[in-house]
Structure 1
């Protein structure tokens, strides 16, 4: 039991951290970065002392929440690019990025307006666009992605998807998935590949 205690304490601390970050991202998306720390603690179900022990300042919490957001985005792109089927990987990237974009766009906008020169975001964007461009080329060579596709087309879809952040949270993911399905179908070379809806069935 004595050997298990440190592991249990670490697990509990990690759970608290995850709940705080989840609550912070949701509240930042809905209300901007001015949400009081006590409100975040209450939403996460932790005491103020627990919150401040892990995040001693509001800026620390904002920065770590954003870094986690970037890590999630990077993981989506890397997993999609690793798919041996380039069209399936490309479609998966669009679908998952649209959902992430709709869910947390309010937070990303708030962070970027408060940190307009954030270098980590610029480096992150350039790196992931390069990986997605390579994936798109593979999908074209496989005959699944329309030949006139350019990366600006994907950027346009993600920009358009930002409007979904105004949809009620309860239906936001479903709307984002539908939006992604329509976008993927538009990108598909006619007569090749399958749509997201067909993949699910």
Structure 2
């Protein structure tokens, strides 16, 4: 499905004014709750914050993944657009750096985005498809920086999981204290990724299966109770 297309769960029939107002309130409350608490934020709490009954939430969003899809559609589109732009950037190293900076910026103030980027959790096919496309573009970004000779040859796409996992903890610890300090850590990491002065690494990179298992483990430890 093209990046700008309408998600399959969205009805094309216009809602009544009161129903649209409830839907908008639910999405605003969900975005706020997911940003503060992650993807396991209480649906009862979201409905209460939106000023509606839980039944109203379920009428608009029958499952938690449906709500996640709609609440994060904008950020997922921004992430995908950044990957597409970086995959064809004139300078592959700048594309590599710019891509990671955009991703970390999307995560910095949003625990739910951290969860989407760092864990495997149940998601609609529409969202999973976008994440698969982003993974493919990320491989292209890494390959181009390797071909340019600016990214150290032993860095793999799977190694970028370390940036995402580390960033999620750094952002959680510092967002209320020094909200931009994550950029310092990211640029330290980018210097470590440069080809110049690289030293042999003590262990091989993780396989994609190992990364997937780690992300599944992270997702299972934060599974919602509802």
What TM-score results when the alignment is normalised by the length of structure 2?
0.59
For residues 105-139 of structure 1, the C-alpha deviation after alignment (integer angstroms, 9 at most, x for no partner) is: 335538x9996254344433332122121122211
For the aligned residue pairs, the C-alpha RMSD in angstroms reads: 3.6
Gaps of 5+ in 1: 1-12, 42-46, 192-201
With over 3 angstroms needed to count, the CA separation of the structure-2 counterparts of 1:28 and 1:158, relative to structure 1, is: same
Contact kept, 8 Å, 2:145 with 2:151, in 1: the verdict is yes
What is the alpha-carbon distance in structure 1 between the residues aligned to residue 69 and residue 178 of structure 2?
Answer: 25
Residue 123 of structure 1 is matched in structure 2 by 129
Superposed, which structure 2 residues align to 1:35-50 within 5 Å? Answer: 35-39=45-49, 41=50
What is the alpha-carbon distance in structure 2 between the residues aligned to residue 177 and residue 128 of structure 1?
Answer: 22
Pick the aligned partner of 2:83 from 77, 93, 103.
77
Contact kept, 8 Å, 1:165 with 1:172, in 2: the verdict is no
What is the alpha-carbon distance in structure 1 between the residues aligned to residue 119 and residue 89 of structure 2?
Answer: 35
Superposed, which structure 2 residues align to 1:1-201 within 5 Å? Answer: 21=27, 24-31=30-37, 32-34=40-42, 35-39=45-49, 41=50, 56-57=60-61, 59=63, 61-106=67-112, 109=115, 116=122, 118-171=124-177, 173-190=179-196
What is the alpha-carbon distance in structure 1 between the residues aligned to residue 73 and residue 108 of structure 2?
Answer: 18
Gaps of 5+ in 2: 1-19, 198-226
What TM-score results when the alignment is normalised by the length of structure 1?
0.65
Contact kept, 8 Å, 1:164 with 1:176, in 2: the verdict is yes
What is the alpha-carbon distance in structure 2 between the residues aligned to residue 121 and residue 56 of structure 1?
Answer: 18
What is the alpha-carbon distance in structure 1 between the residues aligned to residue 84 and residue 70 of structure 2?
Answer: 21
